[in-house]
Amino acid sequence: MKLSPGVVDQFVAVHPRDFMALLKADDRPDFDTFWKLQNQIKPVDFYCYLYARFGPPNGIQNFLRADHSDNLIHWEWTLQSDDRFYLIQGHNFRTEIWVSGPQLEADSLEVLIADIKQSFPQHGKSMGEIRSKLEHWVEFINPYQRIRSAVESLDKELAALSVPSKEDQPQSVTDFDSPEDWSKVWNNHAQTISRATGLCFGIRSMLPVMAEAFVNLLMYMQMKPELKADDRLRENLFRQPIDVRIRGLSHNCLGFERAIDYSHEACRHYHSLVNERNDLLHGNVVVDKLKFNELYFNGRVPVFKSYSTMWERAFGVAQNSVGLDLLKNEREVVDGFIDYVISCLKEKVQTQVRAFLHQRDLGLSLDDGHLGMLFSGQLVDMVMGPKSAK
């Protein structure tokens, strides 16, 4: 069967009590037609249209949803036109429409969409009033959590490489039965060390940035309203050197129990970490940090002060230059710094901040600029099998 144009004009809302009675009857309706809409009709337009025309959602699913944003179905209207019932549901990734009665042809959906869009102008004013009452939010990626997730991922990859310990490092070709055995072990370790040093360089480069992202997020969360509302003042605060931003947190933000003491051990260690990162990342020539050997020359004859192994010369230099042995301590420095700053907040704010730090996706209210956690972080969807759809 095919849907005839004009069906939308005949839509009427069905009271939940009456619809429940129909479902309990022996001749209860079967919903043989199932349609999925992505953005053929934008969900917010559809929601405002249905709300403006029929009032609050009246479908049974509205009584089953919990009072939070983690539901499979967020809203539902139950409508009737002629002898058919239409269940229109808002999900996480689509709008679903279930139609009772004999199955409709596929192009009937296009007829329905066209009918609904043609009906918009008749209810435009009411739709605008409904939309104006909705809270307007945007979702954005938590920059702190994005960096922390990357660091943890690289850290796991590095741990899985099993970089040889000093006891496992081959010392000399003379320790092997043949040059071939030496070459095989050497080449395997060469690949491991090369990958390990690359991962280490990436992690060490990101660790201070992770702490800076934490500071920026905290500032954005807790910044005093008069500063946050002024674009020039807000941007100026974020452009300040990181140590100035940290020192000024309690002055520019709400929720602090006490001021940040930048002479605190956690801050001093973080400051040193930033300097180390700058030398590493910018390729600064600091010989005391880059040197790996000391020797003499008699003309062109080298005279070594002490011997190193071939391993130390080939791979030890690379390991030491990127600080492979420093990673654990540097992660502790960043975590210690973050814990210290949070400890300066009021207890209730501490709990809120920690919750925000673990959330990948955050929300920004376009109405007043405050941040929120809109969803739990779990992606939820559902699919109906053939029997269920029947």
pLDDT at 387: 44
Please indicate, yes or no, if residue 385 is contained in any of the structural domains.
no
Percent helix, percent strand, percent coil in the chain, to nearest 5: 55, 15, 30
What pLDDT is recorded for position 159? 86
CA contacts within 13 A on the Cβ side of 137:
14
User: How far is 280 from 47, CA to CA, in rounded Å?
Assistant: 53
Structural domain includes residue 20: yes
The answer on 156 and 129 residing in a single domain is no
Phi and psi for 35 in degrees, rounded to 5?
-125, 145
What is the CB neighbour count within 10 angstroms for residue 382? 11
**pLDDT surpasses 50 at 390:** no
201 and 348 belong to one structural domain: yes
Same domain, 37 and 185: no
SS3 297: strand
- The contacts of residue 15 (CB under 8 Å, 6+ apart) are 58
77-86, 172-181, 278-287 — which is least confidently predicted?
A: 278-287
Mean pLDDT check: name the lowest of 167-181, 185-199, 259-273, 321-335. 167-181
Q: How many domains does the chain have?
A: 2
In this predicted structure, what is the pLDDT of residue 386?
44
Lowest mean pLDDT among 132-141, 156-165, 236-245, 257-266: 156-165
Q: What six digits make up the tokens of 24?
A: 């309990």
| Range of weakest confidence among 4-8, 287-291, 336-340, 345-349 | 287-291
Considering 106, 134, 162, which residue would you say is the last residue of a domain? 134
Same domain, 58 and 79: yes
One domain, residues 155 and 213: yes
- What's the Cα-to-Cα distance from 153 to each of 34, 188, 215, 358, rounded to whole Å? 41, 23, 22, 15
Q: Are residues 182 and 164 part of one domain?
A: yes
Q: Average pLDDT in the 115-133 region?
A: 95
Domain boundary among 71, 102, 134: 134
CA dist 277 → 38, 50, 129, 151, 206 (Å): 46, 56, 53, 15, 9
- Between 326 and 150, the higher pLDDT residue: 150
Round to whole Å and give the CA distance between 79 and 50: 10
Residue 96 contacts residue 76 (beta carbons within 8 Å): no
In a shared domain, residues 50 and 128: yes
Per-residue pLDDT at 319 exceeds 70: no
Residues 20 and 112 in one domain: yes
Instruction: Report the 10 Å Cβ neighbour count for 312.
Output: 17
pTM for the predicted model, two decimal places:
0.77
| pLDDT given at position 305 | 82
Rounded Cα–Cα distance for residues 214 and 148 (Å): 10
Q: What pLDDT, on a 0 to 100 scale, did the predictor assign at position 277? A: 77
Please report the pLDDT score of residue 320 as a whole number. 58
**Does 101 fall in a domain?**
yes
Query: At residue 388, does pLDDT exceed 70?
Result: no
More confident residue, 73 or 170: 73
CATH code for position 51? 3.30.310
Query: Which residues, in sequence order, are bridge partners of residue 168?
Result: none
The answer to whether residue 263 scores a pLDDT higher than 90 is yes
The predicted-structure confidence for 247-257, as pLDDT tens digits, reads as follows 999 999 999 99
Among 66-70, 157-161, 209-213, the range with the most confident prediction by mean pLDDT is 209-213
Predicted pLDDT of residue 282: 52
Top-confidence residue, 259 or 384:
259
Q: Determine the pLDDT at residue 374.
A: 85
Whether pLDDT at 389 is above 50? no
Of the three residues 100, 134, 168, the one that is the final residue of a domain is 134
Residue 306 lies in a domain: yes
- Identify whether residues 297 and 185 lie together within a single domain: yes
380 found inside a domain: no
Query: Does residue 285 belong to any structural domain of this protein?
Result: yes
Cα gap 27→7, rounded to integer Å: 24
| Banded pLDDT at 106 (limits 50, 70, 90) | confident
Give the integer Cα–Cα distance in Å for 91 and 71.
Answer: 8
| Residue carrying structure tokens 């079967």 | 30
Does any domain span residue 388? no
Q: At residue 290, does pLDDT exceed 80?
A: no
Model confidence band, residue 27 (pLDDT cutoffs 50, 70, 90) = confident
Whether residues 127 and 163 fall in one domain: no
SS3 of the chain: the string is CCCCCCHHHHCEECCHHHHHHHHHCCCCCCECEEEEECCCCCHHHHHHHHHHHHCCCCCCHHHHCCCCCCCCCCEEEEEEECCEEEEEEECCCCEEEEECECCCCCCHHHHHHHHHHHHHHHHHHHHHHHHHHCCCEEEEECHHHHHHHHHHHHHHHHHCCCCCCHHHCCCCHHHCCCHHHHHHHHHHHHHHHHHHHHHHHHHHHHHHHHHHHHHHHHHHHHECHHHHCCHHHHHHHHHCCHHHHHHCHHHHECCECCCCCCCCHHHHHHHHHHHHHHHHHHCCCCHHHHCCCCEEEECCEEEECCCCCHHHHHHHHHHHHHCHHHHHHHHHHHHHHHHHHHHCECHHHHHHHHHHHCCCEEEEECCCCCEECCCCCCCCCCCCCHHHHC
253 shares a domain with 298: yes
Mean pLDDT, to the nearest integer, of 155-161? 88
- 295 with 367, same domain: the answer is yes
Please say if the pLDDT value at position 28 is more than 80.
Answer: yes
Extract the tokens encoding 215: 């500071």
Chain centroid, CA 46 distance in Å: 28
pLDDT at 166 over 70: no
Q: Which range, of 175-184, 229-238, 259-268, 320-329, averages the lowest pLDDT? A: 320-329
In a domain, 390, yes or no: no
Structural domain containing residue 120: 7-134
DSSP state of 312: I
